[in-house]
Chain A
Amino acid sequence: MSDTTQNGPMRAADGTPLKKSLARALRRQKLRALALIAPLLIFVLVTFIAPIADMLFRSVQNDIVADTLPRTVVALKDWDSTSGESPGEEVFSALAVDFQAAAEQKIHTKLGSRLNYENPGISSLFRKTGRGAEDIGDAFMDQFVDANAAWKDSETWAGLMGSDEWLAEQAEWVAAKAEGVKEPKFRLRDGIADALPRTSSTYATFARDTQSGTKSLVKTKPWPVFFVALAQDLATASPEVIASVSGDGAALLQEAAATAAGFEPFDYKAAFTDIDKGWDNVGNWITVQSYSARYTPGYFLNAVDLEKSPDGIQARPEQQQIYIKLFVRTMWMSMLITGCCLLLGYPVAWILANLRASTANVLMILVLLPFWTSLLVRTSAWKVLLQQQGVINDILVWLGLVDDGNRLVMINNQFGTIVAMTHILLPFMILPLYSVMKTVPPAYLRAAKSLGATPWTAFWRVYFPQSVPGIGAGSILCFILAIGYYITPELVGGTQGVFISNRIAFHISSSLNWGLAAALGTILLGAVLLLYYVYDKIVGIDNVKLG
């Protein structure tokens, strides 16, 4: 039977399609290959890829505002930031509850530092307010407690707000006193949310925050803001609605309604501006509103010297613009270092590739020697050599080439970084060049010369094009290593010779602005990938050979 006369897919001897049969035969092989790489793959995924992805995710993550000030963020949605006036009472009442909750958990300072990245100075506002916010409503509390001391007790509040079933479960839990069993989850009394909307929602927040810890609702002091909310609720609710509230606290509530009738209305905004004038500042509110989304481009804008403003995205003030400059500096210095490595490394690789094996091996050890020396030692050696009282300056002065008072500044600037990094990265250029040159037979050069080419033409037209894959591999390697280099620029770069990676390290370990560090890192990664893509388009990645 001839294959060409068959219709449909090719079939194996047993009639199954040949493709299927082949796939089955290869599956075992593929599975085995997968099993062999699985340990490393899992290791890399768990210890490297996942943490890096998480870290990079921080560059857009911005849960902290919405998590710390949930009510305020919702209330602030309707505020028109272009109006020129700080938000209204509704926002401030939400802020009071949020601040009460945040100060209880001591997370308001964290939010302060987060927003401080965007609006320097705002963190002190948050710190100060954290201390004062707990007292908002103290006056009302005192008045309620004066009327009836029961208002001071947390049981009173629990009895008023909690549903009957929950109160029964709670009583059971208290009686059992079982270790490690959490208090039953709080449930609001039926109808209370309609009767006392502000109070019940504030209490629900209080209950959630309290129960998320190990504290018991009946043992935690009521917040002063409860009394403000209660007074406002009582002032607006009709007597029938208040009468409809059931439970133990019903009588107390009726009594309180009478008491509260004489209260003056509470002004949240005044309370906050009393604590700190900053709350009347529109700029601060714009910051809070701008960064209230759970995901924000803010870190990225920051990383390219931009910022959000009511009029859209705009450049940061001139004296705050540093990142673009650093990115550009990192790029051109890395390119220069790669170029220096190529200029110095190419002849060395050529010699190595064309020497007898025994001599080449000895020289190769010299090339590899720096790998066996600590990076810090090598960098420090450059410090010794290059500094103003260093070896090179001393020799130049001794030779009379340089005046003693006029010693050359060769370190703690860009020159120092370029010299030290070229030295450190040189082996990464020589090795790929060498391994590629090793595969170019000397017969090509001879052939070119026998055809009449001068030694230079023979090199340039015949040998050089064949060493391009090595140049490509070495340059990519050097450039990518240089662009992310940290230790050497830190030690010998001074202020003019530092790279973007030094800034990333600063934000990771000193300023603790991890979101900005992640954004800078993501941009750096993106730039490298982009360059890689461009390189692939121009030179072709197939033209990269490591040996």
Chain B
Amino acid sequence: MKDTSTGGNAAFVEFEHVQKSYDGETLVVKDLNLSIAKGEFLTMLGPSGSGKTTCLMMLAGFETATHGEIKLDGRPINNIPPHKRGIGMVFQNYALFPHMTVAENLAFPLEVRNIGKSDREEKVKRALDMVQMGAFGGRRPAQLSGGQQQRIALARALVFEPELVLMDEPLGALDKQLREHMQFEITRLAHNLGITTVYVTHDQTEALTMSDNVAVFDDGRIQQLAPPDVLYEEPANSFVAQFIGENNTLLGTVKEIKGDVAVVQLDDGELIDCKPVNVSKPGERTRVSIRPERVEFNKARLQQGAHTLKAEVLEFIYMGDIFRTRLRVAGNEEFVVKTRNAPDQVRLQPGQEIEIGWLPQDCRALDA
């Protein structure tokens, strides 16, 4: 393999200028460029209709790209039918074959590859043990719970040892607790086996907790491709900022830009310091974004000379581990502050007048 010399960063899966249209009038996927390294866990995250599932289906071979090229391990695969691509796939509703037992389901990909019976049984057993379902080989899928079916679907996608596994919202049908448990298990398996994983979801928590990299899709384009922490803390545009996690936004106009600090005049006239991200010159409209947990109202913790804003407490919600306080700031009544439930933490009362502030680097001036 020619890519081994360049290490783990070599592209295992590549999308080059891929476009997809179903009706010949609108593009569902617009000029997609994406490369995924070997062993990487990449999540495609986005609202429904953003093109993420279409991308996955093109990679799996069930949809053909209208334009552009998809490469797997350096080979273009546009013209390779799905069954020759050797890509494992976990479907949204598992797609376990109802007329076969669990063991037969797992043996299916091995059978069609003409693997001998003893070898086959050995692999099926190993795969079942891998997902802790060793005792269920003789059952039918309908006799299993949702979580168990999920494990079997996972085992079936892995049993023929593919180098690339695709997962299409595999946890969507599970309840919250089970979902969190499976998130952990899928990540563990993927890393232990060293397989490359492309995971599609619309659940941002899932995306953040599981992935090495997250590609945020909207309107047929990747809005940002970054590791989860970067995505959360440094959203590249206001769509990503809004879509990932909770976010406070304030509208304003750029007053001046000095190095990596921009002074923004909010619509009610107050000035704040921000980090310029999508703004380049004074006079531009901007949407300023601050994470609720980075807002500070304890003056002692603020930097010298930091700009502060007046705020009125509207609501205080006790959520156990955190407090959530809703404020009116610069005319925005949905401004939220999250504070940790620590022994010395102040519990704000509705009607209270306070002053809030933040570090300039936590406050990002994005596109309006």
Give the interface of A toward B (CB within 8 A): 441, 443-444, 446-455, 457-458, 461-462, 465-466
Contact of A446 with B112 at beta-carbon distance under 8 Å, contacts A451-B156, A452-B86 already known? no
Residues of chain B within 8 A (CB-CB) of A466 are 98-99
The secondary structure that dominates the B interface is loop
Separation of A455 and B83 alpha carbons in the complex (Å): 8
Asked if residues A453 and B112 are in contact (CB atoms below 8 Å), the reply is: yes
Mark contacts of B44-64 with chain A using CB atoms, 8 A cut-off: 1 yes-contact digit, 0 otherwise: 000000000000000011100
Asked if residues B112 and A447 are in contact (CB atoms below 8 Å), the reply is: no
Residues of chain A within 8 A (CB-CB) of B157 are 450-451
Residues of chain A within 8 A (CB-CB) of B108 are 448, 451, 453, 461
Asked if residues B95 and A441 are in contact (CB atoms below 8 Å), the reply is: yes
Chain B contact-residue range equals 20 to 34
Separation of A452 and B84 alpha carbons in the complex (Å): 6
Asked if residues A452 and B109 are in contact (CB atoms below 8 Å), the reply is: yes
Asked if residues B93 and A450 are in contact (CB atoms below 8 Å), the reply is: no
Asked if residues A452 and B112 are in contact (CB atoms below 8 Å), the reply is: yes
Rounded to whole Å, the gap between the CB of B140 and the closest CB of chain A is: 13
Separation of A455 and B84 alpha carbons in the complex (Å): 11
Residues of chain B within 8 A (CB-CB) of A450 are 60-61, 82-83, 85, 87-89, 157, 166
Interface centre among A449, A454, A461, A462 (most CB of B within 10 A): A449
Rounded to whole Å, the gap between the CB of B161 and the closest CB of chain A is: 11
Mark contacts of B68-104 with chain A using CB atoms, 8 A cut-off: 1 yes-contact digit, 0 otherwise: 0000000000000111111111011101011100000
Interface centre among A441, A446, A455 (most CB of B within 10 A): A446
Asked if residues A458 and B95 are in contact (CB atoms below 8 Å), the reply is: no
Asked if residues B112 and A457 are in contact (CB atoms below 8 Å), the reply is: yes
Is B160 an interface residue when CB atoms closer than 8 A count as contact? yes
Residues of chain A within 8 A (CB-CB) of B89 are 446-447, 450-451
Separation of A443 and B109 alpha carbons in the complex (Å): 16
Rounded to whole Å, the gap between the CB of B16 and the closest CB of chain A is: 23
Give the interface of B toward A (CB within 8 A): 60-62, 81-89, 91-93, 95, 97-99, 108-109, 112-113, 156-157, 160, 166
Contact partner of B113 (CB less than 8 A), chosen from A441, A447, A448, A452, is A452
Chain A residue with the shortest CB-CB distance to B96: A447
Asked if residues B91 and A443 are in contact (CB atoms below 8 Å), the reply is: yes
Asked if residues A454 and B62 are in contact (CB atoms below 8 Å), the reply is: no
Contact partner of A443 (CB less than 8 A), chosen from B88, B95, B99, B166, is B95
Residues of chain A within 8 A (CB-CB) of B91 are 443, 446-447
Q: List 13 A-B contacts (CB under 8 A).
A: A443-B93, A443-B95, A446-B60, A446-B89, A449-B62, A450-B82, A451-B160, A452-B86, A453-B83, A453-B112, A455-B81, A461-B108, A462-B97
Residues of chain B within 8 A (CB-CB) of A461 are 108
Interface centre among A444, A455, A465 (most CB of B within 10 A): A444
Separation of A453 and B81 alpha carbons in the complex (Å): 11
Residues of chain A within 8 A (CB-CB) of B83 are 449-455, 458
Residues of chain B within 8 A (CB-CB) of A452 are 83-84, 86, 109, 112-113, 160
Residues of chain A within 8 A (CB-CB) of B88 are 450-451
Residues of chain A within 8 A (CB-CB) of B156 are 451
Chain A residue with the shortest CB-CB distance to B82: A449
Rounded to whole Å, the gap between the CB of A523 and the closest CB of chain B is: 37
Asked if residues A446 and B95 are in contact (CB atoms below 8 Å), the reply is: yes
Separation of A425 and B83 alpha carbons in the complex (Å): 38
Separation of A452 and B83 alpha carbons in the complex (Å): 4
Interface centre among A441, A450, A455, A461 (most CB of B within 10 A): A450
Chain B residue with the shortest CB-CB distance to A463: B97
Separation of A301 and B82 alpha carbons in the complex (Å): 63
Rounded to whole Å, the gap between the CB of A470 and the closest CB of chain B is: 14
Residues of chain A within 8 A (CB-CB) of B112 are 451-454, 457
Rounded to whole Å, the gap between the CB of B6 and the closest CB of chain A is: 29
Separation of A448 and B92 alpha carbons in the complex (Å): 14
Separation of A466 and B92 alpha carbons in the complex (Å): 20
Rounded to whole Å, the gap between the CB of A440 and the closest CB of chain B is: 9
Rounded to whole Å, the gap between the CB of A354 and the closest CB of chain B is: 14
Residues of chain B within 8 A (CB-CB) of A448 are 97, 108
